[in-house]
Amino acid sequence: MRYIQQGNIPHKRHTVFKSPEGNYYYEQLFGTEGFSGVSSLLYHIHRPTQIKSIGTPKDVSPKIAIEKNVTPRMFKGGKIQAEDDFLDSRKILMVNNDLMMGLAKPKKSMDYFYKNGHHDELFFVHEGNGTLKTFVGEIPFAAGDYLIIPRGTIYQMEFNTENTVLFFLEAASPITTPKRYRNEYGQLLEHSPFCERDIVPPTFVPPIDEKGEFLIKVKKDNLIWDFIYATHPFDVVGWDGYFYPYKFNIKDFEPITGRVHLPPPIHQNFEAHNFVVCSFVARMYDYHPLAVPAPYNHSNIDSDEVLFYTEGDFMSRNHIDLMDFTLHPGGIVHGPHPGAMERSIGKKSTEEYAVMVDPFRPLKITEEAMKIEDPTYLTSWLEE
Name the strand (E) or helix (H) holding 344: helix 340-344
- The answer to whether residues 32 and 38 touch, using CB atoms and an 8 Å cutoff, is yes
Q: So which residues are the catalytic ones?
A: 261
Residue 298 labeled ligand binder: yes
Q: Distance (Å, rounded) from C-alpha 180 to C-alpha 192?
A: 8
Residue 57: partners with Cβ closer than 8 Å, 6 or more residues away: 223, 224, 225
Amino acid 262 reads L
Q: Distance (Å, rounded) from C-alpha 55 to C-alpha 153?
A: 20
Rounded to 5 degrees, φ, ψ at 378 are: -55, -40
- What is the Cα 30 distance to its own chain's centre? 20
Residue 209 labeled ligand binder: no
Residue 321: partners with Cβ closer than 8 Å, 6 or more residues away: 76, 78, 309
Residue 334 labeled ligand binder: yes
**Cα dist. 197→2, 246, 249, 369 in Å?**
10, 12, 11, 37
Residue 301: partners with Cβ closer than 8 Å, 6 or more residues away: 330, 331
Within a 13 Å sphere around the CA of 189, how many CA atoms are in the beta-carbon half?
A: 9
Give which of 126, 186, 121 is closest to 149, Cα–Cα: 121
- Maximum CA pair distance of the chain? 80
- The answer to whether residues 337 and 33 touch, using CB atoms and an 8 Å cutoff, is no
Give per-residue burial for 194-217: e unless 16+ CB within 10 Å, then b. beeebbbbbebeebeeeeeebebb
Q: Distance (Å, rounded) from C-alpha 88 to C-alpha 110?
A: 11
Residue numbering of the annotated binding site for Fe cation: 298, 304, 334
Residue numbering of the annotated binding site for homogentisate: 334
Residue numbering of the annotated binding site: 298, 304, 334
